[in-house]
Structure 1
Amino acid sequence: MESIKQKSAALGAPATLPDFRNLGVILRLLVVVNLFALATLLVRVDEGGRLLAEAALMAGRVELPLLFIVLLLYLASPWLRAWPAQLAQAGVLALVVLAVVLSYPLIDGGSLFRHLAWALAAALLCLFYFDYRNRRYSPALAEARLQALSARIRPHFLFNSLNGVLGVIRSDPRRAERALEELADLFRVLMRENRELVPLGDEMALCERYIDLERLRLGERLAVRWDLPVSGTPEHAALMRAQVPALLLQPLLENAVYHGIEPSAESGEVRVRIERRGDELRLEVDNPVSGVARHPEGNRMALDNIRERLMLFFDLEAGLDNACSNGRYRVRIRLPYRTSPP
C-alpha cells in the first residue's frame, strides 16, 4: 500500500483556513513570506554587491509587520476558523492591513501604499498555499483511516484469537462464547469507526478487549500495567475525554505482545503510561525485549503509519520516538491535549 503522502489528491476539498495556533502552520507562514520577500528582492536587485544591503533593508521592513500579523492571526484563529471560508479569508486580509498600519510608524522608509500592496500580495500567496495544501491532503485523512485498519489488524491477530477460542471451547464453553462475542464487538467497532479523532477512553476500551482476547492464548504470561490517574478523579475523567487518532494505542499493544511477550516462554509485562503535561498528552508503551527476531518490518510499518497519521492530524505539534534500553523496548508519543465534551 502506498504511503499516505504519496496518494494522489483530487482538488475538491472545501476551502478552510489553517489553525494559526499550530506551530507547523506558523513556521510555514514565516517561510512562505520570507521566500516571497527573497524572490521580490532578487527580481528587483541586479547587482550582487547591493544584495546584502537591500536584504537587510527589506528584512527591517518585512519582519516587524510579519510578527504583528502572526500575533493577530494567533489571537483571532478560533473566530476565523468558525466563519465561512470567504469571510474568514477576508478577515485575514483585514488583519494584514491592520498589522501593516500599526507597524508602519516603526518602519524605516517606503510609502504606506507600497507596504500594503506587498503585504496583501504575500497574504494572498499564503492563503493560496494553505488552501492548496488543504485540498491536497484532505483525501489522505480518509486513506489514513483505511491504512489504520489494514496495517494494524494483521491476519495473525484474527488467526491467533480464533485459535485461543478453539483452545478453550471444550474445557470452558462459556468463556469461549464470551470471547467470540468480544471478538465480534472488537471488529464491529474497528469497521464502523470513521471519525478523525476519538476519546481516549474509547481507545482504551478497545485495547482492553484486545488484551482479553490475547490472554486466551497467552494466559498468565501476559500482564498489562496501566499507569493512569486514579479512576473517578477529575484528572482521570479529563484524560479519558482527550481526543486521539483512532487505533493509536491498539497497534502498539499488538506489537508489544507479538514481539515482546509471545516469543518468550516466560511471563512478561507490558506497561502503558498516559499522562497530561500542560497542553500536551503523552503516551508511552514499553515491553520486554525478546531474543527471538520476529519480522521487524511489521513493527516499522505500524510505527511509520502512526507517525504519518500524527503528522496529518497535528502537524509538527505531535511526534513519536522509539528506543531500546535496559532490556525493554519503548515507544513514546506526544500530541496536543484536546478534549471532547463531557
Structure 2
Amino acid sequence: MRTSINQNRIPLSLPELRNLGTILRILLLVNAVVMIAAFVREERGAAISDAWVQMSAVVEPHLLCELLILYLLAPWLERAPYAIGASSVMAVTLAVGLGINTALAALIPDMTTGAMLRHVMFSLLIAGVLLFYFQLRAKALSPAIAEARLQALQARIRPHFLFNSITAVLSLMRSEPRRAETALEDLADLFRVLMRDNRQLAPLSDEVELCRQYLDLEKLRLGERLTIEWHIDNMPGDAQVPPLLLQPLLENAVYHGIERSSVPGVIAINIFLRRGEVHAILRNPYKMSHSDHGGNNMALANIRERLALHFDAEASLASKTKRDSYEVHIRMPYRTYVESGEGA
C-alpha cells in the first residue's frame, strides 16, 4: 500500500507483496476458498475431506511458488504502473499454474487436460478476486475517517501545556532572555510540525528532534522534577516513521508519570535497530492511584491504527504496567525510503 493516507482519490496500487500481513491474508483467503469449494463439491463429511486434500495438493504448491516469485518481483512490481503490475501478477499466475499442472499430470496419469485447464482458470479467477479485494481494502483504510483521526491526534496537545509553556517563558524574559528565546523557538517549531500535513512518513531523526524540543519545554516548567534518559546510540535516524509517533506518548508520560506525581521521576527513551526492525521503548513512572487513562488509551489506539495503516502486520505497539512503571514498546520495519506516486 502507499505510505500516504490520502483523503482524495486513491490511486490504483498493488498490495505490498513483501508484507507479512499481505502474505497471511492471501494464504487465509485462498485456503478458505478451497474449503468452500470442497463443501460445494461434496455432501458427505469423508468426501468433503478427500476433496479438500485433492484440491489442496494442487493449490498449495501453486500458491507457495507464486508467492515466492511475486516476493522476488515485488520491488519492480511496486514501481510499475498498476495495469502492468496487475498484468504481471496474472501472467505469473498463468505460468505457475501451467507448470504445476504439467508436473502433476506426469505424477497422476488419469489427470485430464480439461481438469488442468479448470485448475488454471480457477487460479486466474482467484488472483483477480484477490487484486480486487486488496484494492477495496486500500480504499477502505484511507478515507477521511483515518485522516480525521490523525488530525485529532495532532490537535490533542493539551491546552494547559501551551499556557504553562508561555508562562514559563515569560518568567525567564528578564532573568534569562537567551533561554527564553530558545524556548520560544522550540515552541514555534513544535506547533509548526503539529499544523503541517503529516500524512507522509518522515525520518526518525526528525521525530526525535521534535521530542527533544517538546521535553525541553516541559523541563522548563517542571525543572528538577523531570529527568530524561536518552538511549539512542543505535538508533537508525534515516528510518521512515509516521510523524508524531513518539511525541504524544511522551506527553502522556509527562502528564501521568511526572506532573501528577509528588516526587521527581525519570522518563527513559530507548530506540534501536534489531534484525531489520526499529524498536522504540518508552518508560515512565506509574502510580496505581492514577485512574484517568482516557487520553492515554486514545493516543495508544490512534498510534496503533496509524502503524497498521502504514505497515500493516509488520508493526506493533504493546504496553505493559509494572508496579512502579509504565512501558510502551513500538516495533516497525526499518525502511529508508518513501514510495512515490501518491495521489493529490
Contact 2:204 2:237 in 1 (8 A): yes
Residue equivalent to 1:190? 194
Superposed, 1:10-159 pairs within 5 Å as 12-107=9-104, 108=108, 109=111, 111-139=115-143, 142-151=147-156, 153-159=157-163
Mean CA deviation greater in 15-24 or 30-39: 30-39
Superposed, 1:221-300 pairs within 5 Å as 221-229=225-233, 239-290=236-287, 292-293=289-290, 295-300=292-297
In 2, distance between residues paired with 1:265 and 1:176? 26
Contact 1:10 1:136 in 2 (8 A): no
Contact 1:199 1:340 in 2 (8 A): no
- Relative to structure 1, the CA distance from residue 155 to residue 10 in structure 2 (aligned partners, 3 Å threshold; closer, same or farther) is closer
**For this pair of structures, how many residues does the alignment match?**
325
- Post-superposition shift, 1:49? 4.3
- Post-superposition shift, 1:173? 3.9
How big is each residue's C-alpha offset from its partner over 1:152-172, in whole Å with a ceiling of 9 and x where there is no partner? x22232232223223434543
In 2, distance between residues paired with 1:225 and 1:316? 30
**1:240 counterpart SS class:** coil
Contact 1:282 1:334 in 2 (8 A): yes
**2:15 counterpart SS class:** coil
Residue equivalent to 1:5? none
Of 310, 314, 319, the match for 1:317 = 314
**1:147 counterpart SS class:** helix
Contact 1:11 1:136 in 2 (8 A): no
- Post-superposition shift, 1:19? 0.5
Match status 1:335 vs 2:332: yes
Residue equivalent to 2:210? 206
How big is each residue's C-alpha offset from its partner over 1:221-260, in whole Å with a ceiling of 9 and x where there is no partner? 111111122xxxxx55xx1101111111111111111111
Contact 1:310 1:318 in 2 (8 A): yes
In 2, distance between residues paired with 1:59 and 1:340? 38
In 1, distance between residues paired with 2:155 and 2:96? 48
Give 1:158's aligned amino acid: L
**1:332 counterpart SS class:** strand
Give 1:50's aligned amino acid: A
- Post-superposition shift, 1:112? 2.3
**1:145 counterpart SS class:** helix
In 2, distance between residues paired with 1:324 and 1:54? 50
Contact 2:204 2:238 in 1 (8 A): yes
- Post-superposition shift, 1:287? 0.9
How big is each residue's C-alpha offset from its partner over 1:291-319, in whole Å with a ceiling of 9 and x where there is no partner? 55262111111111111111111111110
Which blocks of at least 5 consecutive residues in structure 2 are unaligned?
Answer: 1-5, 339-344
Give 1:145's aligned amino acid: L
How big is each residue's C-alpha offset from its partner over 1:184-241, in whole Å with a ceiling of 9 and x where there is no partner? 1210122114342110110011001101110121012111111122xxxxx55xx110
* Structure-1-length-normalised TM-score: 0.88
Mean CA deviation greater in 80-89 or 320-329: 320-329
In 2, distance between residues paired with 1:320 and 1:207? 18
Give 2:40's aligned amino acid: V
**1:299 counterpart SS class:** helix
In 1, distance between residues paired with 2:252 and 2:277? 24
- Post-superposition shift, 1:340? 4.1
Contact 1:144 1:309 in 2 (8 A): no
Which blocks of at least 5 consecutive residues in structure 1 are unaligned?
Answer: 1-8, 230-234
How big is each residue's C-alpha offset from its partner over 1:235-288, in whole Å with a ceiling of 9 and x where there is no partner? 55xx11011111111111111111111122322111000110021110000011
RMSD value over aligned CA atoms? 2.1
How big is each residue's C-alpha offset from its partner over 1:93-134, in whole Å with a ceiling of 9 and x where there is no partner? 011112112222443435321111010011011011001111
Mean CA deviation greater in 33-42 or 168-177: 168-177
Give 2:189's aligned amino acid: D
Give 1:215's aligned amino acid: K
- Which structure would you say has the larger RCO, counting Cα contacts within 8 Å and 6 or more residues apart? 2
